[in-house]
A = this chain, B = another copy of it.
Amino acid sequence: MLGLRAAIEIPSVSEQEDKRDNVFQVWFPTQIFSVPTITPNTMQMAKWLVHEMESLGIEVKQKALGKQPGKDIDLPPLLIGRYGSDPTKPTILAYSHYDVQPAALSDGWDDEPFELTEKEDGRLCGRGTSDDKGPLLNWLNMIQAFQKAGQDVPANLVFCFEGMEESGSQGLADALKEESTGEFAKIDSVCITDTAWSTTNRPNLIRGLRGIMFYHININGADGDAHSGAFGGALSEPMTDMVNLMASLVDSQGRILVPGIYDDVLPVSAEERKALGEIEMSKDSLDGGINGKLLHEDQADDLIARSRKPTLSLHGIERASPGKGASTIIPGRILGRFSIRIVANMDIKKIDSLVQTHLKARFQQLGSKNELSVQLTGRGDWFFEEVDHWNYQAAIQATEKVWGVTPNITSEGGSIPIALDFKKVLNSNVVLLPVGRADDHTHSENGKYPPQYFRTVRLICFITEKLDRSNYINSVKVYGTYLEMASKNWKQ
């Protein structure tokens, strides 16, 4: 606990300035804008960590990532550590991050967030306990445990500890590419511990993440807005086309209407469906804590729809032409936004072609006199990992041995971009091995949505980040067992 206590006390907030640090502020008449900056705290955290790592015999390279884009501030370094180089063992890259989300007692925390507070019920409270200082330090705790027991660590380890994860992992993707032929050249597999269980009571391993394709529909009817009294009936109105196009994309049961879009989607096995049906889900984790109306009565159908199937959401329609915002205008130019969440094995190019073809055919059918353009403005691929791989199997076996239950193998609806980066750049199997639980409230302070979709508690009620002592202790064991099983499986 000593290491964790010291780590929590360094407020290494990468996203915002820390109140206790020198922050430069710009005065505007109506508001104070605090310019986000990398605080010395992040650097201090890196320095502390290097010291801890080196004291265990880990070789550390502090990889400079240059300036923060658009700012004259150095990014915190990527810490690359090496421990062991036995050619008879697999080499596993372990990813964690040493920066944290902002936090303040005044946000409603039960205790000072940048101090470790141990509760009687076993909670270790403090910013970063679960996301991600606890999971990070446990790699060091594990090495220390092997050292104290006089045993070899069962695998070679390459650490990749970043300090900008909570601020978009700036600089990481480039560094990964650079090191793919350098420090990360001889990696056998990757283990990411920056996640938590999908529930509060049962461990799981995440094998799938959805990708996204983001679209703009532009419809141009006129150079400006028109008065609907004077011109209603005379002009071809873009809104009419837009709602028709949008209505042709998805129905009220959530089925995407673009022909062919489901063709390459991987089927869900009966086994997977059964497992999804058995996960204990709270009402909030099902409806988002916002009293959402569920499309599926059956839990397995619900979880399949939101993680293993593509979905299409219409986000909005914006006026894109100048004009007074009178409530009865005919908007002359409008922009519609929608996105498709994609899953294995959908091909972005192919899907884009299907979407474009469909929308253009529908527009043709409308016989509109307006002009249409459809643009794919953003994209991120899906992630879907081979669970039969020795790396994944090692994580499953370690979880079984330590927790005494077989973990659920789940997919998530959202994305964790670094998982895909590791997989694509290093061409390696990537296991997402959660440490904390669904109710750890890792991003709670500023109302952000947690990355895991079936978190069980309303954020508004509980905002103190915690890591359960049992998870803290057991994850040291899980890590060690994982390396042991990985080494064993890898040999076979």
Which residues of A pack against B, CB within 8 Å?
28-30, 210, 212, 214, 221-237, 239-244, 246-247, 250-254, 286-288, 290-296, 302, 305-307, 309, 311-317, 319, 324, 327-332, 337, 339, 341, 366-370, 412-415, 447, 449, 453
Contact B231 A453 (CB under 8 A): yes
Which residue of chain B has its CB nearest to the CB of A229? B414
Contact A288 B226 (CB under 8 A): yes
Q: Which of A210, A319, A341, A449 has the most CB of B within 10 A?
A: A449
Contact B332 A339 (CB under 8 A): no
Instruction: Please give the distance in Å from A349's CB to the nearest CB on chain B.
Output: 21
Instruction: Please give the distance in Å from A151's CB to the nearest CB on chain B.
Output: 41
Q: Given A29-B29, A252-B368, A314 and B240 touching (CB < 8 A)?
A: yes
Q: Given A243-B247, A330-B313, A366-B252, A413 and B290 touching (CB < 8 A)?
A: no
Give Cα A232–Cα B223 distance, bound, in whole angstroms. Answer: 35
Give Cα A418–Cα B315 distance, bound, in whole angstroms. Answer: 41
Contact B290 A223 (CB under 8 A): yes
Q: Given A223-B291, A254-B233, A315 and B329 touching (CB < 8 A)?
A: yes
Which residue of chain B has its CB nearest to the CB of A454? B230
Residue from B223, B292, B309 within 8 A of A226 (CB atoms): B292
Copies in the complex: 2
Residue from B290, B291, B309 within 8 A of A233 (CB atoms): B309
Residue from B295, B305, B328 within 8 A of A212 (CB atoms): B328
Which residue of chain B has its CB nearest to the CB of A241? B252
Contact B236 A306 (CB under 8 A): no
Contacts of A319 in B (CB 8 A): 316
Contact B328 A293 (CB under 8 A): no
Q: Given A247-B243, A292-B222, A315-B329, A302 and B234 touching (CB < 8 A)?
A: yes
Contact A228 B30 (CB under 8 A): no
Q: Given A229-B341, A337-B327, A369 and B240 touching (CB < 8 A)?
A: no
Contacts of A366 in B (CB 8 A): 251-252
Contacts of A254 in B (CB 8 A): 233, 236-237, 240
Contact B228 A292 (CB under 8 A): no
Contact A288 B230 (CB under 8 A): yes
Contact B230 A414 (CB under 8 A): yes
Give Cα A276–Cα B228 distance, bound, in whole angstroms. Answer: 20
Contact B227 A449 (CB under 8 A): yes
Residue from B311, B324, B328 within 8 A of A214 (CB atoms): B328
Q: Given A214-B327, A229-B414, A244-B247, A234 and B313 touching (CB < 8 A)?
A: no
A-B residue pairs, 3 tightest by C-beta:
A229-B414, A233-B305, A230-B453
Contacts of A331 in B (CB 8 A): 315-316
Contact B232 A311 (CB under 8 A): yes
Instruction: Please give the distance in Å from A319's CB to the nearest CB on chain B.
Output: 7
Contact A447 B314 (CB under 8 A): no
Give Cα A313–Cα B328 distance, bound, in whole angstroms. Answer: 8
Contacts of A233 in B (CB 8 A): 254, 295, 302, 305-307, 309, 311, 341, 413
27 contacts between A and B (CB under 8 A): A29-B29, A222-B290, A222-B293, A223-B291, A228-B311, A228-B339, A229-B413, A230-B306, A230-B414, A230-B449, A232-B306, A232-B311, A232-B413, A234-B292, A234-B295, A235-B292, A235-B293, A237-B313, A239-B246, A239-B315, A240-B246, A240-B314, A243-B244, A246-B247, A252-B368, A290-B332, A315-B329
Contacts of A251 in B (CB 8 A): 240, 244, 366
Contact B234 A306 (CB under 8 A): yes
Q: Given A236-B252, A247-B243, A252-B241, A231 and B413 touching (CB < 8 A)?
A: yes
Contact A290 B224 (CB under 8 A): yes
Residue from B242, B305, B369, B412 within 8 A of A293 (CB atoms): B369
Contacts of A367 in B (CB 8 A): 252-253
Q: Which of A229, A236, A247, A286 has the most CB of B within 10 A?
A: A229
